[in-house]
Amino acid sequence: MTNFVQLQQVSLKYNEEESALALYRTSFGVASGEFIAVVGPSGCGKSTLMKVVTGLWPATAGQVMVADKPVTTPLNFVGMAFQNPSLLPWRTTLKNVMLPLEIVEPHASRLRSDREAYEAKARELLALVGLKGCEDKYPWQLSGGMQQRAQLCRALIHEPSLLMLDEPFGALDMFTREELWLALQDLWIARRPTVILVTHDLREAVFLADRVLVMSARPGRIILDCKIDMERPRRLERTYEPESVALVHELREHISAARAKAAA
Partner 1 sequence: MSVAEIYDLPPVTRRKSFFERKAVRRALPWLVIIAMFVFWELLVRVFSIQEFILPAPSAIFQSLWQWREPIAINAWQTLMTTLIGFGLAIVIGGLGGIALGSSQVAYDGFYPALIAFNSVPKVAVVPVLVIWFGIGTIPAVITAFLLAFFPILVNVATGIATVEPELRDVLRALGASRKQVIMKVGLPRAMPYFFASLKIAMTVAFVGSIVAESIAANAGIGYLMLVASSRFEVPLAFACLIVTGLMGVAMYVVCVAIEQRTTGWATRGADGVAFGS
Identify the helix (H) or strand (E) that includes residue 182: helix 174-191
How many Å apart are CA 125 and CA 176, to the nearest integer?
18
136 counts as binding partner 1 under rule CB under 8 A: no
Q: Is 115 helix (H, G, I), strand (E, B) or coil?
A: helix
- Pick from 84, 191, 200, 230 the residue near partner 1 by CB under 8 A: 84
CB of residue 164 vs partner 1: minimum separation in angstroms?
7
State which residue, 156 or 224, has the beta carbon closest to partner 1. 156
- The number of beta carbons lying within 10 Å of the beta carbon of residue 113 is 9
Nearest 5°: the CA angle 232, 174, 212 is 45
Select from 10-18, 94-102, 109-117, 237-245 the region that touches partner 1 (CB under 8 A): 94-102
CA separation for the pair 44, 258 (Å, rounded): 10
The footprint of partner 1 on residues 153-172 (CB under 8 A) is 154-155, 158, 164
Non-local (6+) Cβ contacts of 85 within 8 A are 139, 144, 147, 148, 150, 151
The CB-of-66 to partner 1 minimum distance in angstroms stands at 11
- Angstrom distance (rounded) from CA 53 to CA 63: 10
Residue 8 or 84 having the CB closest to partner 1:
84
Minimum CB separation of residue 262 from partner 1 in Å reads 26
Q: Interacting stretch for partner 1, rule CB under 8 A, among 11-19, 74-82, 116-124, 170-178?
A: 74-82
Write out the residues near partner 1 by the rule CB under 8 A.
Answer: 51, 54-56, 74-82, 84, 86, 88-90, 99-100, 102-105, 138, 140, 154-155, 158, 164
